[in-house]
Structure 1
Amino acid sequence: MRQPPDLILTDARIRTMDPAQPVAQALAVTGGRIVAVGAASDVEALAGPGTRVHRLHGKAVMPGLIDSHTHGLWGACRDLSEVFPGLGAALQAVLDGVAAKAATMPHGEWIIGGPWRPFDRAALGPRPCEMLDRIAPHHPVVLKDVSQHNLWVNSAAMRLAGIAAATPEVPGGVIERDADGVPTGILIETAGSLVQPFMQPTPAQLAQAVGHMAAYFHSMGMTGFKEPMAFAPELNAYAEADRAGRLRLHTGAHLTRFSPFASDWVPLDEMQALRAAYTSPNLHTGFAKLFLDGVPIARTAAFCAPYPGQDAAVHDPDAMLLITPERLAEELVLLDAAGFTVKMHAVGDRAIQVGLDAIAAARAANGSSGLRHEIAHSNFIRPQDIARFAALDAVPEVSPKLWYPNPVTPGQRQVLGDARAESCHPVRSLLDAGAAVIYGSDWPAAAPDADPWTGLAGMISRTDPTGVHPGSVGADQAVPLDRALPVFTTNAARALRLDGVTGVLARGASADLIVLDHPLDSLTTAELGATRPGATLFAGEVVFGAL
């Protein structure tokens, strides 16, 4: 006799994301897996003496959402210990926060915070370090810009990091200097790697951050995510939490191969050792990360055409690439052969082009490995490259939440011009061309939060669902709800290599789901952006709210 299910949810409006059975009234769970989905009478008939039956009285049920690019531990550490008055906060609010922190912290302890905006560089004066020296004379201070790619530090931080007039430039970065060659306190891209070792959280802080992150993600209805840049400390924190039963999220960790946040390339054998050492039931480590360029607001994203105001005659599209096209092709062939799914940070259209070229090189050298490499952010894509994603079985990740107006939008327009800014994230064109688009918040980089619902509502409307920021970005690239939902569920699950395991409510899948008061297709854009689950379940267990 078949064992009765542990749990039945019934009298619900279930959106399964399973094309074979898109809607249902009930589902049954045994041992964390879905064993039946269908009509209420059929599923309820499976109940036994020990089955918990919850009638949801017409509430909506759907798979939990998946964020394919969020720096979970960074964001949690920011919430727990850093100065952060908000992504759109005025510079004075940031400085006031630093001053308040300095008044309460022991002398010599590092103060970390932000944000500041590279396009407001003139407001920082000729030597920005001195502004921070005045308000925190006894502490090393590091302020991250809105993208977290560029740093503003004070004199104490530079002394401890050994940054002085004689310090050589870091390849791929800039130590800003005054007319006498003395560093001013602004570190662009890879130059920030000189300070990064001093900014690392302790193991105890990371352990606390995992708990904070998991609770936050569950409250938003998330049951999976991809950590886009992991080193050994982050991997250890995730693995320890998983072994202790505290990581109730499907987690894909992209092991860093090359990053402007580190001083050198991570050897492949070290990556393979990390992959083997830290894989655990909910932590999947067969992923790698490369950075190809920077960010538009610092004019470090690599574009085929010059930035407004730049001389087209001397523009070199490859000058801002952090990896040469030849080296990148070699890397994709190598990592693909080693079994790593590669996520490449690529914002400008030239970086995206060479990223796709490298995937093509891997396909030519290794054949079809089954690995679906990703172009992270995919902000600005040449029209002729749109179709290449599907042709190469490459994955465009649209991230961060720049497809609708937000605090960063004015800076994007200022640096890029309206026409190029309007071309950001061609989601509709990618979907029309058959690409399996995925979503990433990139929290806490250039994103005020990890809220997937404002991301979903903004993708559908290309307007700010909170109503704070007027206008739209790329209105012609808006997509309807039914086309947007796979980006957050089934497509994202496949990118995690968990196709059919999560992101769908079907027989055999993990019971990763959320309960909502109303079906999503009954909501306005503002209501959709404000959505919160009444309950989040991971493997059939309630991890947030209540049934």
Structure 2
Amino acid sequence: MTHAATIHDGGTILTMQPGALQAEAIAVDGDGRVMAVGPSHEIAALAGPGTRRESLGGAFVMPGLVESHTHALWGACRDLFEVYVGYAASTEGLAQAVQTRAAALPAGTWITGGPWRLDMRDGLGMTPRDWLDRIAPAHPVALSDTTQHAMWANSAALAAAGIDAHSPDIPGGVIERDATGVPTGFLAEAGCAPLRRLTAWTPDQLSQACDYATRYLNSLGYTAFKEPMADEATLAAYADAVDTGRMSLHVAAHITAYSPLTEAVVPPDEIARLRARYARPGLRLDYAKLFLDGVAPAYTASFLAPYLPKPGYDPATHDPDATLLLPPEVLNATVTALDALGFCVKMHAVGDNAVRKGLDAIAAARAANGSGGPRHEIAHSTFVDDADLPRFADLDAVAEVSPKLWMPNAGTAAQRAVLGAARLDQVHRIRSLLDAGAEVIFGTDWPASAPDANPWTGLAGMISRTDPTGRYPGAVAPAQAIPLDDALPLFTVNGAKAMGMTGQTGVLATGAWADFIVLDRDIRTSTAEEIGAVTVRRTVHKGQTVYEA
């Protein structure tokens, strides 16, 4: 008889196994896989002379969580290397942070970070360029908004990027200009690309960021995650962390096939080359990423119905396809080609027209290549039209919900200002998607539109549609709240399936990796506010403790 290497006993264990949801003990073999999970007396029989016994002390235990959309290195670089003032900061606070950084850096050194919110624009009293010129005249400065889809830049940054009154507009981007044609310093979508290329992180910074992100995600209870937008430098950093044993998470990465930062769609054979070079056990790369639109506060998300009016935008002239980043025919051909190569395509889609076009592209791939191919994902699925709800199940497509806009937050006012209260009551239709048979997964999109990657506030907000921290009052689309039992699969078994790891993580069952977390409370008997305040006491990945509070 094979004996367990470790037995964890004396807990209340949620297994996420249908029909056997609760257990008392887990036996783990020497390779870090679950031998058995069940009643204490049954698991005790697997003990041998060398078995290590660990008491769970009556604590609540559940599978490690799966984060299906987080820019881990980007978020870590923000925390490690950028100005960061938080999503609720004032204009004065942002100015002070930039001035402090400028005083500490030699003239000419880039300053990046943020974030700013669109509601802060009117308070500047001048263009973003002039405002930043006054704050840091001797440094190129480029600050991102909370969504990471727009930037403010000063004169030095614009000059370094070659953006001036004579520069042509950038397809798929916004370079805002004054009445004389001079750039104001506001850039959006592809308009940010020249600045982002000048402020790319070094390999050493990405390596540091990888270690920081691993510790951070483990501390929140994650044992697996998907990187939603990976270029070659990102892939190299992840691969090195896996190869050197520094990665205590299962990782899948969507290789960027098109984003506002790329000049054109990356050829499928180049995506395949990157997969072949960097894929290895622990780093799954059968995934690609496309951007279909932008974000609502910048008027760059693609909606079927018009936005609210503003200077320079007339709802009567609204064209749903005008803000699409890829023409439908290009999108359909790209998804079809990637589908044929076995890539699951994650498509950023905020507006309901973008969601529809993404589903149309999946339908085109199914028609060309047959059913049974990769289960493509609509990232964010922020707004979905009634007619498109059943199409997710029909096309075997996955609805990813992120970031945490289903609860009041720092971005709620900006969303309401451009869309109106009635449309905001149709945001993140999680209940409607589940009722229509869609498979749904959870992501935070940290650090884009989410100040953190905390899953517990996301879970709490999902079941209450309120802010569990109490900072932001009211509720967002409360009719779309779902019960805890319906929400937990989004964070566990559904996320594992989307990573190609069904039965391997996100569940505690024989043969699965021993990926589990010990919490400070039983979330099944907790209020939404209590769930939002959960503390992870311990995170175990492949049978090894990788985080302990």
Global fold match (TM > 0.5)? yes
Alignment coverage as a number of residue pairs: 545
Report the CA distance between 1:510 and its aligned residue. Answer: 0.5
Q: Is 1:458 aligned to residue 474 of structure 2?
A: no
**Residue of structure 2 equivalent to 1:296:** 296
Q: Taking structure 2 as the reference length, what is the TM-score of the superposition?
A: 0.98
Q: Is 1:408 aligned to residue 407 of structure 2?
A: no
Matching residue's letter, 1:272: A
Report the CA distance between 1:312 and its aligned residue. Answer: 4.3
Partner of 1:195, secondary structure, is helix
CA distance in 2, matches of 1:215, 1:314: 49
Report the CA distance between 1:92 and its aligned residue. Answer: 1.4
**Residue of structure 1 equivalent to 2:5:** 6
Q: Check the 8 A contact 1:248/1:282 in 2, yes or no.
A: no
Q: Percent identity?
A: 56
Which aligned segments of 4 or more residues in structure 1 are displaced greater than 6 angstroms?
A: none
Moved more, 303-312 or 24-33: 303-312
CA distance in 1, matches of 2:324, 2:537: 45
Q: Check the 8 A contact 1:88/1:408 in 2, yes or no.
A: no
CA distance in 2, matches of 1:461, 1:177: 42
Partner of 1:531, secondary structure, is coil
Q: Is 1:207 aligned to residue 207 of structure 2?
A: yes
Q: Is 1:446 aligned to residue 449 of structure 2?
A: yes
Q: Check the 8 A contact 2:308/2:315 in 1, yes or no.
A: no
Moved more, 420-429 or 112-121: 112-121
CA distance in 2, matches of 1:511, 1:290: 33
Matching residue's letter, 1:5: A
Report the CA distance between 1:124 and its aligned residue. Answer: 3.3
CA distance in 2, matches of 1:258, 1:369: 24
CA distance in 2, matches of 1:410, 1:177: 25
Q: Check the 8 A contact 2:174/2:189 in 1, yes or no.
A: yes
Of 419, 433, 436, the residue aligned with 2:436 is: 433
CA distance in 2, matches of 1:518, 1:49: 33
CA distance in 2, matches of 1:91, 1:282: 43
Matching residue's letter, 2:357: V
CA distance in 2, matches of 1:152, 1:361: 38
Report the CA distance between 1:175 and its aligned residue. Answer: 0.9
Partner of 2:185, secondary structure, is strand
Q: Structure 1, residues 284-305: CA drift from partner, whole Å, max 9, x if none?
A: 1110000000100101101001
Q: Check the 8 A contact 1:196/1:262 in 2, yes or no.
A: no
Report the CA distance between 1:119 and its aligned residue. Answer: 4.3
Of 462, 471, 474, the residue aligned with 2:474 is: 471
RMSD: 1.1
CA distance in 2, matches of 1:297, 1:478: 24
Matching residue's letter, 1:185: G
Of 484, 490, 497, the residue aligned with 2:500 is: 497
Matching residue's letter, 2:81: S
Q: Structure 1, residues 402-442: CA drift from partner, whole Å, max 9, x if none?
A: 00001111111111100111111010111111111001101
Give runs of aligned pairs for residues 46-85 of structure 1, distance below 5 A.
46-85=46-85
**Residue of structure 1 equivalent to 2:224:** 224
CA distance in 2, matches of 1:259, 1:125: 32
**Residue of structure 1 equivalent to 2:515:** 512
CA distance in 2, matches of 1:126, 1:406: 27
Report the CA distance between 1:95 and its aligned residue. Answer: 1.1
Q: Structure 1, residues 95-115: CA drift from partner, whole Å, max 9, x if none?
A: 110000000012221111111
Partner of 1:114, secondary structure, is strand
Unaligned runs of 5+ in 2: none
Q: Structure 1, residues 489-527: CA drift from partner, whole Å, max 9, x if none?
A: 000000111111110000000111001232211111111
CA distance in 2, matches of 1:313, 1:476: 31
CA distance in 2, matches of 1:529, 1:56: 23
Partner of 1:534, secondary structure, is strand
Q: Structure 1, residues 460-493: CA drift from partner, whole Å, max 9, x if none?
A: 1000000111000010111111000000000000
Q: Structure 1, residues 215-271: CA drift from partner, whole Å, max 9, x if none?
A: 111110011111110001111011001101111111110100110022332222221
**Residue of structure 2 equivalent to 1:482:** 485
Q: Taking structure 1 as the reference length, what is the TM-score of the superposition?
A: 0.98
CA distance in 2, matches of 1:124, 1:475: 35
Partner of 2:536, secondary structure, is coil
CA distance in 2, matches of 1:316, 1:124: 31
CA distance in 2, matches of 1:297, 1:446: 11
Partner of 1:66, secondary structure, is strand
CA distance in 2, matches of 1:267, 1:110: 32
CA distance in 2, matches of 1:20, 1:274: 41
**Residue of structure 2 equivalent to 1:353:** 356
Q: Check the 8 A contact 1:32/1:539 in 2, yes or no.
A: yes
Unaligned runs of 5+ in 1: none
Q: Structure 1, residues 144-190: CA drift from partner, whole Å, max 9, x if none?
A: 01100011111111111111112111101111111111111111111
**Residue of structure 2 equivalent to 1:379:** 382
Q: Structure 1, residues 359-401: CA drift from partner, whole Å, max 9, x if none?
A: 1111111112431100001011101111111111100111100
**Residue of structure 1 equivalent to 2:319:** 316
